[in-house]
Structures are given as structure tokens and as C-alpha cells.
Chain A
Amino acid sequence: MLQKLFKFNGGVKPATNKAASTRDPIKPVPMPRQLVVPLHQHVGGTPHPLVEAGEQVLKGQRIGAADGNVSSAIHAPTSGRVLAIEPRVMAHSSGLSSLSVVIEPDGEDRWIDTAPMPWRSMSPDEIRDELRDAGIVGLGGAVFPSHLKLKPGNEGTHTLVINGAECEPFITCDDLLMRERGDQIVRGALIMQAMLKAQRVLVGIEDNKPEAIAQMQAAVQRNGTTSMQVIAIPTRYPAGGAKQLIRVLTGIEVPHGRRSTDYGVQCFNTGTAYAIADAVEKGRPLISRIVTVAGNVERPGNYEVLFGTPMDHLAALAGIKADTDRFIMGGPMMGFRMPAYDVPVVKATNCVLVGSEALFPAPAPEMACIRCGECARACPADLQPFELYWHSRAKNFGKAQEYHLFDCIECGCCAYVCPSHIPLVDYYRFAKSEVWARERQKDAADVARERFEFRNERIEREKREKAEKLAAKTAASRAAASSAPGAEQGEAAPAAASTAADDSKKALIAAAMARAKAQRDAADQAAAPVATPPASAPDSAPATTAPAPQDRSI
């Protein structure tokens, strides 16, 4: 079974730093004193709390209900008592707080009653609802609700890609999961394959993980499926970007703003496949994940971590070194610096990278761009990063968009290779947020203008109607005064006028209702799994964790 592989342009090869954290098997984490479970851990609506302070909860009990379909449920990671439901600092570089359920574990770790899902006899919609209520979201880092992606595309889905590339340096959680629990990943992938009616499943793994490749191949063989292939791909960051991996495995390039399903491909992270098997086979919701602890620690390794576990509690197990000055969630190329050490592990946390100035020194001072083009050669999206930089710096955002600003996946390759040490990605983040802010402003202005025009129109109409009524009245009274027999005519005329006015009012109301409905539909559509900038649908998809719904397990 020889699979032809394709290439994406660009990419870089930083030191992988993965060996240290793969020596030990996945380890458990002692129960922390408190679990702080944020209700909003995914792309989409914030779940409504289902419990109250003081209430006892069981492990796996739903404590947050999905807010509409573009959302996902949240569950208690262990049994215990709800101490509070209050805003707590999020695992996000902004340092903002979000509503969280604080649980004091009772130490019994008692499960709710669980039962396997009879998924083969369920309708696809029912399965999707169950997965939403089991809190299954993409575990590659983008945390997009998985049930929304488990629909065949309009012209069918021929290929399901399972992303085990894991190209970011330091991160090894997918590697360890594949080594130790390959069978369940395969079973999860087969469930997805059935739901998508995909002809084949391609598991892409970077060739620096020979053990994971061997274990996955063995798992596929044990399972006996013939439609699944485990494929070693060349190690080159960002091969684990969903679009890059799809390109490498199938040769298909999915443009920005399009869904891969439009091209017959869907992509999920290995951890997501594992979680789906848990939900379907055991009826267990998503309450934990594998997290790599690496960087400035004595014993880098992987842990199975309950959501809500404070990061410092977790990292302490690996032995935090004294000169530590930051926690980064994710890898060194795309990760985010945490605002505090005790922020909770969430569904998006694939790695707690412990950093220090010695490990990740500040780049040398920024120098002038000499247009050397290194960034363009490193860009996996085939952009001209230095042009984007010039235009972003000049706040020439229109030009930046002409140069495909929004095709940038913020992988960091350009900044990594820049000889002038320019923090290029920061410029693009700035430009993107400016563009979003302007669009929001424009939308608000449009709405205000429409309202204003409608109001003017209404006032005009009312004035007109009043004048007409008055004219009719005067005419009638004049007619009545001038000749009594003409009274019949005089009464008929205003009656006709008022029905006509009523009709036009009704038509206006109907039109307004239609407009409102169209707006609602548009909002719903915008919330569908397309790469929508969070700004264009701020109410329906407040994507605080990541703008792109694709798994970014890189």
C-alpha cells in the first residue's frame, strides 16, 4: 500500500525537543484541591450552568448545557460539591475572566450512570446531538464542536483524515496517545468514518514518531479494517496544520474561508477520535485529556488531566525549575502565554510549556526589513509575509487584505526565520483585529443608518397619513355642511382611506419581520463550520480560543 504524498511549500524545521517527554508512559494526576471548570471551552456559544453553588455533582454529570447547536456541553470532571459559579481567569493570554464552575472533589470519583450509545440504530442527527451533549470538541487545539463537522459534505465526503502529525516542538500528547491507546483511536475513527460515509481514512503521522506509527499500524491490523491507512509524512512544521496535512495526504488545497468538506475531506485530531469512542462505546463525556508538560521542568512527560486542574498543580508533578518565568499553553511556535500559573487546564490544552528566559530568550532587537524573502520561502500559505508586514505596519489594511492577510494561519514560520528579528505574526494579529474592529463598526453603523432611515420614513408616513385624514375629514365635514344628501359619499371616502393605510402598515410590519428573519438566518449560517472571523458573527460564534475551526494540532 504505497501512498503518493504531496508537498506544501515552505515550512521550517526547528529542533523538535520531543524525546524527553516520551520516555515515560502517560501518568495520572493526583486529585487537586479544587477544580475550576470554565463553561466556555470551545468555539461557539457559552453553555448555561445547570447546577447551583452547594449542589453535589457526580463525575461526568452535565453541569453546562450547550447554548444552541453551535456549542458544546460541559461536565463535572469528578464527583464533589459545587463551591461557586463565578468568573475566574481563563486559560487565555488576554487575562480575562469567564464564568466557571468551582468544584471541591469529594475524593470518591463516583461516575454517573453511563451506558453505551446504540449508535448504529440511531439517526445521524441523534448521534450528533449526543456528541454535543457529551462535550466532544476538536482536541488539536481549535476546540471546534465535533458534531458540527460530522456531516457528509454536499457532494459526499470521500476521505477522513486523522491528524496525528503533531508538528509543534515539545508537544507529545498525541504521540503517547497513539502509542498506548491506538485501538480506541482506530475505533473512534471508524465511528466518524461511518457518520461521514467516507470511503477511506488516512492517519497522517510525522515520521519522527516511528513508535506511534508502528502502534497505529498494528492497531489498524488488529481491527481488521481495510479502508484505513497509517501514513508517515515528512517532519516539517507546520505539517500538522489541518490544511497542510490534507494537502500532504490528498493533494487537495482547501482555500481560506472554505470548508474541507466542500472538497470531500474532513479532518480530526487523534485525541478527538479517542474521545468520540469514549462517548459512544462507554457513554462517557469528555472530562479529561492527555497534556504534555515540557520545557523548563526536571521530568518532562504526559499526563491524563481532568479539565479544571490548575496548571501549576499539573506542572509541579514534572518538577518546575527555579528560573521559570511563564507558562505557555500549546507549543513554542503557536502557543499563548498564560496570564497566571494557576489557570485551569481546558479542552484546548494540549501542552503546558514551562518557559524561562534561558529556554526562550527574547529575540534580538527588531531591525529594518531588508526584503530578503526568507519569510516568503518559509510561508506554508504561499504568502509574501514581508509585503503583509509593510502594509500592516503602515496601517494600510486594505492592501494587507489584497495580499491575503486572512490566509495567514499564524504558524510563526516567517518570524522564526526573519534575520531582522521582526515579530511578524504580531503585526498580522494586529492588522486582523483592526480589520475585524472596523467591520464591526461598519456593521453597527449600517444597522444604525437603517434604523434611522426607517424612523424617518415612519415619521414621514405618519405625517402624510395625518394630513390625509385631516383632508378627508375637512372634505367630509365640508360636504356634510354643503349638502346633507352627499353624506353617504363623504363617509365612504375616509373609511376607504383608513383601510388602505392599515394595509400599507401591515405590509411594512411583514417586511420588517421578514428582514429580522433573514438576519437571524444569516447569523445562523455564519455560525456554521466555516472559517468565519469571530467579528462577522459576534453573537453566535464568539471564538475566543481560536478563530479557525480546523484542528490545529501542530
Chain B
Amino acid sequence: MSLNSPYLRKPTSVSRVMAEVLLAMAPGIAVYAWFFGAGILVQLALATAAALAFEAAFLHMRGRPIKPALADLSAVVTAWLIALSFPSIGPWWLIVVATGFAIIVAKHLYGGLGQNPFNPAMVAYAVMIVAFPALMSQWPGAGQLDASAQLELIFGGARDIDAITAATPLDALRTGLRAEGAGVASLLDGAAFGHIAARGWEWVTAAFLLGGVYLLARRIITWHIPVAFLGTLALLATLASLLAPQAYPGALFSLFSGAAMLGAFFILTDPVSGATTPRGKLIYAAGAALITWIIRHFGAFPDGVAFATLLMNLCVPLIDMKTQPAVFGHKKKG
């Protein structure tokens, strides 16, 4: 019996919010599986099972109620983000260990849902790419491997990997630029590239964009983070490609490559670890875009979204504190 007002509640819950986020990822996953094979579905299942198991185990150890926390679906969202940012042909233990790290270290050791300062999925990514750089860099090309070959790679032991995987488009572009002295235009004519970015992957990112628009329409997220992130990334790419067209790809390539779309709509928008004030969100996302762009072009990793997210997570308390909106009656113009 509720003792105090308000006695009315909007029919909403954390589970509903998380379910909407999962639903919004579905188109991207479908396109992913269509172009790159069933491996991603296996990885999603592995990550989901691992996340729920670790979550339940840790809730039990912490003496917290297990059922409501599993039903809130937050662990599933983390699991899916890990699966989508990891190579779909990585060995099974890679994603299980990563998910365990995300749920146990990045989430529960900090106090569980709502308390983690860093995005758990990105913590897992950062840890694994530092620990297993080779495994984390083996991505299949579009239509390159059939389902049985992918299953063999995930569950089998032997990995004669260089023969069967392609470098990611961002990697291919960077190595190409550095090693062969070739220009952007000639590299993008290569077989690995499609209309605007990597063949196949450009459609996956487009589907993530679609899912993101759905989240905006359902008011699960606000426009600030996606617009600031994609806008800043596009601006930087455009400026760079105008100044040095042979050394830097343009805005479209940058937006539809790597984890830009996933990051803009699904990763940076994680409310727990992200900025919360309207102005803060703009600063947070613009900063993440800048770091992403720098890592992509001057760093050693396939993509920069994960590190950009974590670095900006660090700044969130400061950003939020310094961007508190004016309270009713205290606005400057009165």
C-alpha cells in the first residue's frame, strides 16, 4: 500500500526501457547475420547466457534479490553490446570471459545496476583488446565464411586465421595508407569496400541508425548524444578530408564504419555511465567523437569508440556538475 503521494504511476519500468533498447538493436543484428553469417547469433546467445549466469551468481553472493534484477534485462543489454562489438568468429571463451569481466568487475564490484561509472561492455572490450589483440582483430569479410566454418572457429580449437579473415575496413584503410602510400580513393575501390564504407558493414550500421531513430521516437534516448557524436565525427572527417583528401576518408565513410552508429545510439547513450544534463550530453558526446577520430587515424586499435567512451565516462561527474541546467525562476533572462 503506497503511503504517500503520488498515488498514480505511469505504466513504465526498467525492464520496458531495456526491452525497447534490445528491440532497437534487432534490425542491426538481422542485417549483421545476413551479411556475415550466423556467428553473431551464436555470440549473442553465448554472451546472454553468460551475462545472466554471472549476474545471478553475483546477486546471490551479494545477498540481493535475483529475480527482479535478472528481469530488468540490463545484463542482456550489456551482453548484446559486447557481442556486437566483438568479432563474430572469436572463440567461445573470449566472449564468456569478456561478459564475466563486464558483469562482475565493471558492474557488481562497483555496486550493481546504476552504480557503475564505466560502461561495462566497453570495459570488457578494452580489457580483451589489450589482452588478446590478435583474436580481437579477426573479423570475417561479408559472405566469406559459412555457418559451419564459423561454428568451427567459435567452438573448435585450431585457428589458421590469417587465411580466412579480412582486416576490418578501418584497419585495412589505415594500414593501406601507412604501408603502401596509396590514396584513400584507390583503397576504397578495393573489394572489401561497398558504396560508402565497408561492404556489408555499411548496411549493418545503417540498420543501427534505424534502431537509434526508433529509440529517439520512443523517447528512450534524447537527441543530444547521437547528434553531437555523429555531428562532431562528421565535422572532423570533413575538415580532414578537405585538407588532405588522399590521407583521410570523408564524413559518410566515418559515420558508417566501425562502431560509430552503435556508439552514438546504444553505447554512449547508456544513462548510468553517461552525462545526464542536456548541455553535458553534448560535451560528452562531442568529446567522445574527437577521441574516436584520433584513435581511428593515429592509434593502433581497430576502432576508438570503446576507449573514447571510457575516457569520457571518466569526465562525466565533472561535466554533469558544471552543466547543471538553470532552475525555474533562476534563469538569466528571468
Contacts and interface: CB of A to CB of B under 8 A. Distances in A.
Interface of A: 8-9, 12, 14, 93, 169, 243, 247, 252-256, 258, 325-326, 328, 330, 332-337, 355, 357, 360, 362-365, 367-374, 376-377, 380-384, 386-387, 403-404, 407, 412, 415-421, 423, 425-426, 429
A371 B276 contact: yes
A253 B328 contact: yes
A12 B10 contact: yes
A363 B328 CA distance: 29
25 contacts: A14-B8, A247-B328, A253-B334, A255-B328, A332-B5, A332-B6, A336-B4, A337-B4, A355-B7, A363-B9, A367-B72, A367-B113, A368-B114, A370-B271, A373-B276, A376-B276, A380-B328, A383-B328, A384-B276, A387-B320, A412-B5, A415-B9, A416-B8, A419-B16, A420-B13
Contacts of A325: 1
Contact of A8 (B14, B328, B334): B328
A383 B326 CA distance: 8
Nearest to B277: A384
A357 B272 CA distance: 33
Contact of B5 (A252, A254, A336, A376): A336
Interface in B249-291: 271-272, 276-277
Interface in B98-129: 112-115
Centre residue among B1, B115, B222, B329 by max chain A CB count within 10 A: B329
B12 A243 contact: no
A256 B328 CA distance: 8
A252 B74 CA distance: 42
Contacts of A357: 1
Nearest to B115: A368
A417 B7 contact: no
B324 A364 contact: no
B325 A421 contact: no
A407 B327 contact: yes
Given A243-B328, A371-B271, A407-B328, A360 B2 contact: yes
B68 interface: yes
A364 B326 CA distance: 32
B112 to A, nearest CB: 7
By Cβ-Cβ distance, the 3 closest A-B pairs, closest first, are A255-B329, A412-B6, A368-B114
Interface string B218-233: 0000100000000000
Contacts of B222: 373, 377
Given A254-B329, A258-B329, A365-B68, A416 B9 contact: yes
Given A370-B271, A373-B271, A376-B276, A416 B6 contact: yes
Contacts of A420: 13-14, 114
B4 A417 contact: no
Contacts of A335: 5, 7
B328 A360 contact: no
Contacts of A404: 327, 330
B7 A429 contact: no
Interface in B1-38: 1-10, 12-14, 16-17
Nearest to A381: B328
B6 A372 contact: no
Nearest to A369: B114
Given A243-B329, A382-B326, A368 B112 contact: yes
Report whether over half of chain B's contact residues are helix, strand or loop; otherwise say mixed: loop
A387 B321 CA distance: 10
Chain B interface: which size bin? 35 or more
Given A376-B277, A407-B327, 17 more contacts: A9-B328, A254-B329, A255-B328, A326-B1, A355-B7, A367-B68, A368-B14, A376-B276, A377-B222, A380-B328, A382-B327, A403-B324, A407-B330, A419-B12, A419-B14, A423-B2, A425-B5
A381 B331 CA distance: 11
A169 B8 CA distance: 10
Contact of B272 (A326, A370, A418): A370
B7 A382 contact: no
Given A367-B68, A382-B326, A332 B271 contact: no
Interface string B78-116: 000000000000000000000000000000000011110
A407 B4 CA distance: 20
Centre residue among B7, B72, B112 by max chain A CB count within 10 A: B7
Centre residue among A326, A363, A370 by max chain B CB count within 10 A: A370
A417 B10 contact: yes
Contact of B6 (A243, A355, A364, A425): A425
A208 B5 CA distance: 23
A300 to B, nearest CB: 16
B113 A370 contact: yes
A541 B328 CA distance: 26
Contacts of A247: 328
A382 B10 CA distance: 20
Nearest to A258: B329
A368 B113 contact: yes
B17 A372 contact: yes
Contacts of A423: 2, 4
A253 B272 contact: no
Given A368-B112, A419-B13, A332 B276 contact: no
Interface string B142-184: 0000000000000000000000000000000000000000000
A403 B277 CA distance: 13
A243 B8 CA distance: 23
A169 B7 CA distance: 11
A259 to B, nearest CB: 12
A355 B3 CA distance: 12
A169 B202 CA distance: 49
Contacts of B9: 363, 415-416, 418, 421
A261 B250 CA distance: 58
Centre residue among B17, B114, B320, B334 by max chain A CB count within 10 A: B114
A328 B3 CA distance: 10
Nearest to B16: A419
Nearest to A365: B68
A294 to B, nearest CB: 13
Contact of A332 (B7, B10, B330, B334): B7
Nearest to A363: B9
A326 B5 CA distance: 13
A416 B4 contact: no
A169 B328 CA distance: 24
Contacts of B14: 367-368, 370, 419-420
A365 B4 CA distance: 15
A407 B68 CA distance: 34
A199 to B, nearest CB: 20
Centre residue among B5, B326, B330 by max chain A CB count within 10 A: B5
B110 to A, nearest CB: 12
B20 to A, nearest CB: 10
Contacts of B10: 12, 14, 416-417
A364 B65 CA distance: 14
Contacts of B324: 384, 403
B3 A382 contact: no
Given A243-B329, A325-B1, A334 B271 contact: no
B4 A383 contact: no
A368 B64 CA distance: 12
